[in-house]
Structure 1
Amino acid sequence: MNTLRFFARRAAFYLFTAWAAITINFFLPRFMKGDPIQAYLARHRGQVTPEAIDSLRILFGLNTDKPLLQQYVDYWGLMFSGDLGRSLSRGLAPVTDVIAAALPWTIGLVGIATILSFSIGTLLGSLIGWSRGSRADVLVPISTFFSTVPYFWMGLIAIAVFASGLGWFPASHAYGRGSTPSWDPAFILEVIKHGTLPALTIVIASLGGWILGMRNMMITILDEDYVTVAQAKGLPARRVLTRYAARNAVLPQIQSFALALGFIVGGTLVMELVFSYPGVGKLLLEATGAKDYPLMQGLFLIITLTVLVANILADVAYAVLDPRTRQTEA
């Protein structure tokens, strides 16, 4: 009963959050200064009739003849039908197609790098916390130092050393010029080679936070009575580490990991700019500069829903690993 009540409360909370986010996503562009239609016409010079301008406003859902409430209702209807509008800066291409073209690059690169960073950092943090006071502690200040270095500096240094200097990796883009995206093994290897350097910089830049967080939680958990009792019973050290200490110490990490997964869709904007990578973050910056409101709305919607889904999965994992959560919130 407590479990059902817990999940019902969380479902109601996330449904309300999703409604609020989508509502803000609808109203925010309409309160911003500037006219996206006029900006579009300025980029496409020529004689445009008033009728054509009115047609564009209707096409982009900016028809001021309709009451705002009716526009809001129409927006929900279009969203449920999968129609996020047309991109002003991408030749009136459907927003869903534009986002779908950029999304795999961001998820493939930033997603894999985030999972690697979390896994390696959590494992190292648990081992360092378990053997506190050993030589392994030196990894904490080293990894923390790299986390404090501005990412664009780290990216530029990596390009200067490993791309320009040693020539081990390409300096930019997701694949070579003249290549056509496909599932051909040669193209896949080319994508991996182009993505290795930015992925490594993401892992190195974020590794310190995971190590430090897990190490501190391990030190706190090791002072708990149930760990002391487990050790006094003579249980193997590996079992005490994995079943008692690490299992409880990783719980706060899961919530942070869920947030990191949610923001994967937003991409690492600085990384995409430094390495000229065709991801969602760079697409959002270009849409903002072009006042492409439909594309901005679509990107914000995808990012928001992804963050919510990631948090839902984190809540489920948290409840499975720690039954006390269900009992407390229920």
Structure 2
Amino acid sequence: MRYYARKLGFYLVAFWAALTLNFFIPRMMPGNPVDALLGKLQQRGGQVGPEAREAYEALLGSDTGEPLWNQYFTYLGNLARGELGVATSAFPTPVSDVIGQALPWTIGLVGIATLLSFVLGVVLGAVVGWKRGSWLDSLVPATTVLSAVPYFWLALIFVLVFSTNLGWFPLNHGYDVALASGWNWEFISSVIEHGTLPALTIVVSSVGGWLLGMRNMMVSTVSEDYVLTAQAKGLRNRRILSRYAARNAVLPSVAGFAISLGFVVSGSIITEQVFSYPGIGSQLLSAVQNSDYALMQGIFLVITLAVLAANLVVDLLYGVIDPRTRVEN
């Protein structure tokens, strides 16, 4: 229990530190969300006066006359009540609604693609490392080259070849805009069709890293004494591969997967820009361009929770996979 309590305490402190940075960093950026919103109002012919500024400052919680520390404690209190503020880039929509609409798209696309590339890379890496020196080793250079190619360049090539020239996949957006969203097969099939090419790009560009890392760990693990002992006992190769070699070789990959899974939310910006895909990445870019503190803070909060939760789960999972990590000092 001390092991798990220590881990949980560490992540609680890290979460508080992340919340503090989440508050101060956007306020160090040039610009002001109230000015941006009043500028939009003025462009539409609205009257901009001192009363309007005070009303918007009160609404957005960015009163420049209030001390920064008071704003900080107000921010923490609002978070405790689940209030993330109003998004000026989508005024007057609450931040929670903006994130709630965008997050499923990002998780559905980048999350599934990341999980698929991890599983595929680890399985192939385990087999290649177990049969090192065979023709399967020829897969490693090809996949490594693909993982070294800049993602945006590979995505643009895929769009040119498979969408523009061949017409196999839609060019952009998350679904056919002529359809009404809902839980029906016509809409779901459109979402799958539009998400296939972005997901394929993510898998192709990232599977090589998982394969190479797992293959190298398998090569070193196969030479360990416990693997040789298992072979001397006459155990089947499949059992030695899964229960002895792969189980220990996969530990570094699990840690890397936790980090990549946590950054699924933040790593979707390039994907969504190239494929004009709706999601958190597009909303974050819009928030930065419009100095939307509330939306930026809400998205960073989601990213923080995702990273910390993924790493906490892996830390606890480590204790199950490798009981040696639970040994108290």
TM-score (norm 1): 0.96
Task: Letter of the 2:317 partner, please give it.
Answer: A
| 1:1-330 matched pairs, under 5 angstroms | 4-45=1-42, 46-327=46-327, 330=329
How far 1:158 moved relative to its partner? 1.1
Q: Note if contact 1:125-1:215 (Cα within 8 Å) is conserved in structure 2.
A: yes
Task: Supply the distance in 2 between the matched residues of 1:34 and 1:282 (Cα, whole angstroms).
Answer: 20
1:9-54 deviations in Å (ceiling 9; x for gaps): 1111100000000011111222222222112211221322212211
Q: CA deviation at 1:71?
A: 1.9
Once the two structures are overlaid, the 10-residue window that deviates more, 209-218 or 58-67, is 58-67
**In the alignment, residue 95 of structure 2 is paired with which amino acid?**
V
Corresponding residue SS for 1:206: helix
Aligned mates of 1:119, 1:97 — CA distance in 2: 33
Unaligned runs of 5+ in 1: none
Deviation at 1:319, TM superposition (A): 0.9
C-alpha contact 1:60 1:294 (8 A) present in aligned 2: yes
- Output the CA distance in 2 between the equivalents of 1:206 and 1:128: 17
Aligned mates of 2:154, 2:129 — CA distance in 1: 28
Count of matched residue pairs = 326
Maintained 8 Å contact 1:271/1:277: yes
**1:267 and 1:82 mapped to 2: Cα distance?**
25
The answer to whether the Cα contact below 8 Å between 2:41 and 2:48 also exists between their aligned partners in 1 is no
Query: Quick check: 2:41–2:47 contact (8 Å CA) kept in 1?
Result: no
Q: CA deviation at 1:286?
A: 1.3
Structure 2: gaps spanning 5 or more residues = none
CA contact 1:267–1:280 (8 Å) conserved in 2: no
Contact 1:266 1:280 in 2 (8 A): yes
1:140-190: CA deviation from partner (whole Å, max 9, x where unpaired): 000001111111221111112111222111111101122221111111001
Following the alignment from structure 2 to structure 1, what is the Cα–Cα distance between the partners of residues 108 and 86?
A: 25
Cα deviation 1:40-99 (Å, max 9, x = unaligned): 211221322212211211211112343333222211111111110001110221000001
In 2, the alpha carbon distance for the partners of 1:35 and 1:259 equals: 33
Inter-partner Cα distance in structure 1 for 2:124 and 2:173: 32
What CA distance in whole angstroms lies between the structure 2 residues aligned with 1:99 and 1:31? 23
Aligned partners of 1:65, 1:146: CA distance in 2, in Å?
Answer: 53
| Greater CA drift, 172-181 or 131-140 | 172-181
Amino acid of the structure 1 residue aligned with 2:142: I
Maintained 8 Å contact 1:21/1:304: yes
Counterparts of 2:126 and 2:96, CA distance in 1: 42
Contact 1:22-1:301 within 8 A present in 2 as well:
yes
Equivalent position amino acid for 1:70 in 2: N
* Structure-2 change in CA distance of 1:215 and 1:86 (3 Å): same
Determine the C-alpha separation between the residues in 2 that align with 1:67 and 1:203.
48
- The separation in 2 between residues aligned to 1:29 and 1:276, in whole angstroms, is 25
Which of 165-174 and 118-127 deviates more? 165-174
Percent of matched pairs sharing the same residue: 55
CA displacement, residues 81-123 of structure 1 (integer Å, 9 cap, x when unaligned): 1110001110221000001110000000001101100000000
* 1:258-299 C-alpha deviation (Å, 9 max, x unpaired): 111111122421111110000111211111011111111110
SS in 2 for 1:174: coil
Structure 1 residue 234, shift from structure 2 partner: 0.9
Separation in structure 1 between the aligned mates of residue 41 and residue 255 of structure 2, nearest angstrom? 47
